[in-house]
Amino acid sequence: MELSVISRSATPTLEGSPTHSLPSPPSSHSANVQLSPPVQQNNFRQALRVFLSTFITIFLAELGDKTQVTTLLMSAESQSPWVVFLGAGAALVATSLLGVWLGHWLSKRISTRTLETAAGAMLLLIAVMLLWDVVQG
């Protein structure tokens, strides 16, 4: 990343005291930090790509799942569908925040490959348990 910083120095003086040149503290007037346009554009494109990939994946995964069906039923029974929307939205944000935090924390301790394998094994175990429940049912 390329940074260019421009700053000015001040010369404070007191009557009867020697003059010393000290750099002025950074402020919005004395420092100007500029990122070169290609770096900004590449960072924006990468962030947009991650955002869209995440949004589309989660959106498609949530269509028709039990959370959406539950929200649909609660909204149908409620006289305040916007309150149901706000409650469901807050819950999804909270669970997403928990997932992001936990995923970030685990990624510092376990390799990505191990995390993917563990997640796949857990989903496979859940599928087998659900299938067993249907067969026994």
Q: Name residues whose C-beta falls within 8 Å of residue 74's C-beta, 6 or more positions apart in sequence.
A: 84, 88
CB 11 within 8 A of CB 18: no
Q: What is the pLDDT of residue 137?
A: 79
| pTM of the complete model | 0.57
Q: Does the pLDDT of residue 112 top 70, yes or no?
A: yes
Which own/partner pairs from 90-93 qualify as long-range (CB within 8 Å, at least 24 positions apart)? 92/67
Q: Does the pLDDT of residue 94 top 60, yes or no?
A: yes
Q: Name residues whose C-beta falls within 8 Å of residue 32's C-beta, 6 or more positions apart in sequence.
A: 5, 6
